Structures are given as C-alpha cells and as structure tokens.
Amino acid sequence: MVDQTPHPSRRQVLKGLGVIGGVAAAGGLGAWAAFSDGDSPAASGAARDTDLDSLADAIVPGGPGKDGIPPIDEPKFLPAGKVDFLHDDEPVFGLVRDGDVRAYPQQVLVWHEIVNDVVADEPLSVTYCPLTGTVVGFPGLPGRPGATFGTSGKLVNSNLLMYDRPTDSQWPQVPGIAITGELYGQRLETVPLVWTSWRAWRTAHPDTRVLSRDTGALRDYGADPYGSYLGESGYYASGDPIFGVQHTSDRFPPKHVVIGVRSGGERLAIDKDLVRDERVVEIDVADTTVRAEWDDALATARVLRADGKEADFMDAMWFCWYAYYPDTVVRA
Amino acid sequence: MTALGALGRATAKVGDGVDHAAGAIRDTPATLRAALSHRRGRRVFGVAGAVILLLYLLAIGDIALSASGRWAAEPLARVAPDALFRSRAPWLYEPVIELHPGAHVAVFASPVNLLLAGIVASLAGLNLALAAHAAKQAVACRRPGYSRSLAVLPAFLLGIACCAPTFVLALGAGTAAAIVPVLLPLRPWFYPLTLVLLLTALVWGVHRVRALGRADQSGDAATPN
C-alpha cells in the first residue's frame, strides 16, 4: 500500500528538533547540577586517609544552605533569675569551665546548632546536632586564634557538618576531624558538656548564666521542628535516622542514648541507662581505665580518666556513634 | 511508512505544537483580561490566590499557629532588618519582622518570601480564573453540565497541582523520611519548576479557551483538544 500521508514541512521538523534538543540539553544540565558534588576531599597536600575520604564521600545535603541554620556569633546571656522562657524539665546543655558556668538551652540551639562563644576569656564553639543528639564544645582552631565555625548545611552520617571560617575546611561534629580542605586530617580538641534539665542545672548552679533567645535571628523558639524531649515525641523518640549512614547496627534502637567515649585509639559506647542503674561503670581501655559516674543532682553521666580529669565523651544516639565507629566496644 | 518518516512526522508535530503555543502565548494577555473582566473571574482569582498564599506561608513556616496559645507572653514585634536578603535555603529567606498579633498566631515576615509566594499565588489564581472563564464559555456553547465539568476540571486541578513542587520546599525532618534525602538535592529546582508548570498550564488554558471560542463560532460542540 502506498503511504499517502503528506510529508511534513522541513521547517516544522527543524523546529521540532530544536525544541527536543533544547529540552534534552536543559534536562541533562539540570540533572548534572543537582547531583554533582562539589565537595572533593582533595585541596590539600596532606597524606590521604581512606577513612576520612570515605567520610567526605558520605557528605549529603541537609536542606538548608551554608549558614542557613545561622550560628550565634554574638551570644547574649541572662542570669538564671531572669529566665522565663524555659520549662523546668526542658533540656539544657551545661558547662563549667574555669569557674564560668553557662547553660545553653536546647530550644535555642535546635535553631542555630553552633554558638561561637567566649568562655573564661577563651573561645569556645558550642555545637549541637539535633539529628544525632550530640553536643560538643570545640575550643577554636589550632594555630588560628579567633576562628569561628559555621553550618555547612550538609550532613555526614546524619550528623552536623561544620566548616571553619578561615579556611572553609569541613568538620563533621562527632569525630571533629577535617575531612575536606586545607586542614584535612587535623583534629579539634573537645570540651564535654552535660545534658540535664533546666531545673536540675539551676538548682546545682544558681549562679549560672543562660543563653538568651535574643540571638539576632527571628525563630519560633519553643517549637522544635523535629519533635520534643518533653515526653519524647517525634524524631527523638523512635524510628530510623532520616539521612543515610555508613554503618548500621540493631544492638540498640537507633535513637537509644549511649555515652560515647574516645580514649587513645579506643572507642567505647556505654549504655546511659546502665550508668544510671549501676551508678559507676569502670572499663579498662588499652593501658588505662575510664570511669563513668552517674550524677544524681543533674541526672546525667560523666566520664573520667584514670587521672581524675574528664575524658573525651558525649551523649549520642546509638545509630550515630556506630555509624562513625563500627568497631566500638559496647558496655550494656 | 518508514521509521525515519514516522520520526519526521512526530518531530513535525512538535514543531506544530510550538506554533500553537506561540499563538496561545500571543493571546494570553487578552484572554486573561477577558477572564478578569467578569466579577466571577476576579473573585476566583482573589480567593484562590489568597488561599495559595496562605498555604505557601504556612508551609515554609512564615506563619505559625499554636493551639495552646504559647505566644501569649511574647512582645508584639521583633525586627531583624539586616537579614533582608539572607538566604536560609534555596528560595527561602530570613524573616525580618516577627509579629505576634495574638497568643495563637505568629508571623515571621520576609519580604522576599512574600514576593515569591505572591508570584506563585497570582499565577495559580490566574489559572483558576481562566478555568472559570472556560466554564463560562462552555455554558455559552450550551454544553451539558457534565461536559462543562470535564472541560474545566483538568484546568482547575492543574492550577492547584502546579504549586505542589513549591510546597516540597517545606519538606524537613518531620516529613516522610524515605523521600527527603532523594528530594533535597532537587530542592533548588522546585520553585522554578513551579513557575514553569504554572505558566505552561496558563498557556494551555488559553489554548483551550481559544479552541472553545472557535467551536462556538463554528457551532461545533466537540471537546477542544
């Protein structure tokens, strides 16, 4: 049979080809822009470390842009008697450093994640990641006085990825090691803070000063976008982490709180409930001993080294500690 | 018919579509003027635009509600003018005024967010006003009621659905965990995608109205394609 359909005009065919080609090119460009990752771990002459490079490869966008979760750079503090925005049972992160006593309310830090503070005349960046329940103090950047940190808007193992403002190197909060940039491989010193309630902290430290809600940013303080620690609901109570993690374990529920401890090359996870029940838990680590003690007044755990000084420890959701340290020793 | 010939015809159809679209784009201002010249069209535009604007601002958290009235002790207003152009996330800006008009409502007003929301709300409102105009034309064509509904329903649904990508802007930790990590890299594209969809729907709506007009003139009651 002879095909009697009229031939399309060349002009219309060319027009159609132009449109199809344009759409395909724009789509390809868009997909490349959306999924390409500009966070190459290179940019340093330092020796490569496969563990650090695998962390750099695990960087994912968290939603906000750089400093889209705005760090507090000029924190203001109130005396305990002037604080009227905290419920007694609300969590605060307590710090005592060279006689300077401070409380950082979780309801403020959940919106900012980093407070670039000065405590006892020394810089201290107090950092909090709501997705992993970890709070860590970092006393600045080695060799760069006055350096502050910002939020990259990205995550590693569902954990806050900070950047330092002088070099733009990126530091996941829990390990505190630069995984990209000029300072690749450097480790930050840490200062532990304790999770406790506002009532317990102000009773134990009536002279405490409290981070104010006058932060320079306008936020719905008192509302928590993730859930609530008053009666434990939402993200904090149960379920899997939202973002991907490198290693998983079902030894505890993902959001179960452990006390993560780093001592030399050893990594320990102590069930926080165990410390509360047994009051004291001692663990031999390599050639030393660490001692986790329950603090009744603050209803929290502290970890001390054999010399009586505070160890490098933090409260952490189990999934996060395990994601970073799958070889961790567990005490439950 | 050879495969090459079929491909040529398909490509030519795309070219024809471009011509139709160009015609519809040319006619868009006049058709929108006609749609808004009636009281009903203006009412649909105003109500739909206001609802979309409200939903957008609620979705991004610039309007917050509290059943327990937790803002009772807050001052009426706080300001942070320095944050005017500070971005929080793609297509999302810092508020510069915090208002507590009552214990149950808080407004975190960002002029840039308001502008972005206003554009989406206006385009969605225009789409729906155009759909209402098409319905009116279908009546003029003496179509039965169900036929009218079938003619305008896609336009109504499209007008609303095109805003969906923008509402994904509000996705955060509280929403479906499985899809958030997949959608987040695409987040910068949601707002432009919304505009493209709304504008496309608008041109398509104009094309339908033109087709209805032609059918009316020729007395043909066939559904326009």
> Taking a C-beta distance cutoff of 8 angstroms, is the pair A140, A289 a contact?
no
CB atoms within 10 A of CB A281: 20
A8: distance to nearest CA of chain B, Å? 6
> Taking a C-beta distance cutoff of 8 angstroms, is the pair A116, A71 a contact?
yes
pLDDT greater at residue A316 or residue B172? A316
Q: Which residue in A5, A13, A37 has the most chain B C-beta atoms within 10 A of its own C-beta, making it the best mutation to test that interface?
A: A13
The answer on pLDDT for A107 being more than 90 is yes
DSSP state of A80: G
Q: How far apart are CA B211 and CA B225, in angstroms?
A: 8
Q: Which residue in B1, B2, B9, B104 has the most chain A C-beta atoms within 10 A of its own C-beta, making it the best mutation to test that interface?
A: B9
CB atoms within 10 A of CB A161: 26
Q: Which residue in B2, B7, B11 has the most chain A C-beta atoms within 10 A of its own C-beta, making it the best mutation to test that interface?
A: B11
Best CA proximity match to A61, nearest among B194, B166, B172: B172
The answer on pLDDT for A1 being more than 50 is no
Which residues, in sequence order, are bridge partners of residue A331? A270
Whole-number pLDDT of residue B164 = 61
The answer on pLDDT for A57 being more than 80 is yes
Q: Do A19 and B18 touch (CB under 8 A)?
A: yes
Whole-number pLDDT of residue B194 = 86
Q: How far apart are CA B25 and CA A89, in angstroms?
A: 61
Averaged pLDDT, A282-304: 92
> Taking a C-beta distance cutoff of 8 angstroms, is the pair A247, A280 a contact?
no
The answer on pLDDT for B14 being more than 80 is no
Residues of A in contact with B14 (CB under 8 A): 15-17, 19-20
Q: What is the pTM of this model?
A: 0.83
The answer on pLDDT for A159 being more than 70 is yes
Best CA proximity match to B205, nearest among B131, B151, B148, B139: B131
Whole-number pLDDT of residue B147 = 53
The answer on pLDDT for A229 being more than 60 is yes
Q: What are the DSSP E strand ranges found in chain B?
A: 63-65, 77-79, 87-89, 92-93, 97-102, 105-109
pLDDT range class, residue A6, cuts 50, 70, 90: low
- The lowest-confidence range among A37-51, A216-230, B91-105, B163-177 is B163-177
- In the numeric block, which tokens belong to residue B119? 């554009």
The answer on pLDDT for B152 being more than 60 is no
Averaged pLDDT, A152-174: 97
Q: At which residue do the structure tokens 């994640």 appear?
A: A113
> What value does the mean pLDDT of chain B take?
80
Q: How, if at all, do strands A194-197 and A191-192 pair?
A: unpaired
pLDDT in tens, A164-198: 999 999 999 999 999 999 999 999 999 999 999 99
pLDDT greater at residue A99 or residue A32? A99
The answer on pLDDT for B154 being more than 90 is no
Whole-number pLDDT of residue A206 = 97
- The lowest-confidence range among A125-129, B188-192, B219-223 is B219-223
The answer on pLDDT for A239 being more than 80 is yes
What is the helix (H) or strand (E) element at residue A91, kind and residue range?
strand A91-97
- In the numeric block, which tokens belong to residue A124? 């201290």
Best CA proximity match to A290, nearest among A273, A313, A265, A272: A313
Nearest CA in chain B to A21: B11
Nearest CA in chain B to A31: B186
Residues of B in contact with A63 (CB under 8 A): 89, 171-172, 180, 184, 187
pLDDT range class, residue B225, cuts 50, 70, 90: very low
What is the value of ipTM here, to two decimals? 0.79
High-pLDDT (> 70) share of chain B, %: 76
Q: How far apart are CA A120 and CA A102, in angstroms?
A: 11
Averaged pLDDT, A18-35: 71
Q: Do A63 and B13 touch (CB under 8 A)?
A: no
Q: Do A34 and B185 touch (CB under 8 A)?
A: yes
Whole-number pLDDT of residue B155 = 58
The closest CB to that of A64, out of B80, B88, B97, belongs to B88
The closest CB to that of A240, out of B70, B86, B177, belongs to B177
Q: Do B97 and A218 touch (CB under 8 A)?
A: yes
B165: distance to nearest CA of chain A, Å? 15
The closest CB to that of B12, out of A13, A65, A130, belongs to A13
The closest CB to that of A242, out of B181, B187, B189, belongs to B181
The answer on pLDDT for B9 being more than 90 is no
